[in-house]
Structure 1
Amino acid sequence: MARSAIGRLFAGLRCLPVGNTQLQTQCSRWSSERTGVEASMFSHKPRDFSLPNPSWGEEMKRLYKHYNLQSEEAAGQGEDGEWWTRLPSYNRSLKYATGGVYLSKMIQSKARLFTRNIRDPGAAFEYVLFFRNDKQRCLCIFQAGHLLEGPPGHVHGGAIATMIDTVTGTHASLLSAPVMTANLNINYRSPIPLGSTVLIESTLDKEEGKKKFISCKVSSTDGSKLHTEATALFVSISVSHLLRG
């Protein structure tokens, strides 16, 4: 059973995107949505949560179209690093429990990736991720729903931290999967109004062996307001680390 589990995990790692065609046809389990996002083992037609839905505001849809068009238009222009690729977003199927023991099917069928655990469109985390071809930058278009309220009328700081960890962790996973968060430093500058759309931009600062140092900022879509700044450290881990109890 252990050998079978490891085989499936390596199969997931081989799904890392190498181009638009593969990205659209295979689930990028480690690079999409931080660690281990994949199509549900109980679903033949997994839902891609990063596609537009009726809850998206006009600004969210405008930015999605902007970056998606950049990706499509640049598909045949070579690998100059300047174009963007959308990452699909699937719910996680939780396959491993503590000690490498499988969860029961009853529990496993209810497992949800945290940011996708509320299925009501627009109620919580609405976002789509793009990465630049040279993998030096990752960008997220984020719209916060009413269930993420902290200060009256504004987004909870923990929800902002979750999105920063999601974006920077996805970025680190693109560079070297699998990874785990070692440190996350956040400075909150200005509150984010509920229902508004913001940009979360992640930039690779440096790499030192297994360590990836990444900086991140959350800003208004026109760049006029800085909401949050952060730095993150991610460490590459081995497959055996994931299976260890």
Structure 2
Amino acid sequence: MAKNLFRIFRSFQSFVSLPFTKNQVAHPCASVAFRTTFDRTMVQALASFFSPKSRDFSLPNSSWGEEMIRLYEFYNNQCEGENHGGEWRRLPSYNRSLKYASGGVYLSKIIQSKARLFTRNIREPGAAFEYVVFVSKDEQRCVCVFQSGHLLEGPPGHVHGGAIATMIDTVTGSHASILSAPVMTANLNINYRSPIPLGNTVLVESCLDKREGRKLFISCKVTSTDGSKLHTEATALFLSINVSHLLRG
């Protein structure tokens, strides 16, 4: 047993010292020689556990279609930066750890290291939720470019209503968090107007209607990218909360 652990540790040392290129990162263990499948699995798990970097899932990947990329570039070119006007800014979407776990198995550090934001819990690019969120400089408007994957099918050939609701909650919640973090959803009212074909790219847009103390009222619509078809519209109520509420459960 001690010999096996030593061999795995040596393999891990070799793994973390490799000068990876972009292509190698996609298959990080390809350049390391392993004696067994068990060795490979353990080294990959160790690498994932000890990696200090969080991955930003809102950046383009190979699954994005032409319309998704076009709209990403359109809004990204308007973001703050040396050569941009600064009307918009992109919101990164990282994998995250469980910061507020309150008991049981979730206190395990290994379990925490594997935790993911719900819409980012499918590892296969393009299989489920592919999206990027931009917020306007004055923080009154938010827009999301969303491409649905094959795992989101509900009615044959179309996106599941629950997946659409998830995206609306994600976008309006992100918007509310920019305005008054942290927040929690108090009410979400959705009207489905026309189905979204599976694989299509759509726009999910939200705007702040009003604020009343801790309450934020936000409206949202899901449309085709040219704005000619309304797929879904919704209203949401968010409450600004104290972090202690999360700790109490």
Q: C-alpha separation between the residues in 2 aligned to 1:101 and 1:238? A: 25
Partner residue of 2:147 out of 143, 156, 179: 143
Aligned match of 1:212: 216
Higher relative contact order (CA 8 A, sep 6+): 1
Q: C-alpha separation between the residues in 2 aligned to 1:207 and 1:41? A: 41
Moved more, 95-104 or 193-202: 95-104
Q: How does 1:59-138 map to 2 (within 5 A)?
A: 59-72=67-80, 83-98=87-102, 103-138=107-142
Aligned match of 1:227: 231
**Deviation per residue, 1:184-214 (Å, 9 max, x gap):** 0000000000110000000000000000000
Q: C-alpha separation between the residues in 2 aligned to 1:120 and 1:162? A: 19
The count of aligned residue pairs is: 202
Greater Rg by CA: 2
What residue identity is the alignment partner of 1:223? G
Cα deviation, residue 73, structure 1: 6.4
Give the unaligned 5+ runs of structure 2.
1-47
Q: C-alpha separation between the residues in 1 aligned to 2:165 and 2:220? A: 11
Aligned match of 2:66: 58
Give the unaligned 5+ runs of structure 1.
1-39
Structure richer in helix, relative to its length: 2
Report the TM-score, using the length of structure 2 for normalisation.
0.77
Q: Does 1:238 align with 2:242?
A: yes
Q: RMSD of aligned C-alpha atoms?
A: 2.0
Conservation of the 8 A alpha-carbon contact between 1:126 and 1:142: yes
Moved more, 235-244 or 151-160: 235-244
3-state SS of 1:201 partner: strand
3-state SS of 1:71 partner: coil
Cα deviation, residue 242, structure 1: 1.4
Partner residue of 1:202 out of 201, 206, 211: 206
* Residues 242 and 42 (structure 1), Cα distance of their counterparts in 2 relative to 1, 3 Å cut: farther
Report the TM-score, using the length of structure 1 for normalisation.
0.78
Sequence identity (%): 81
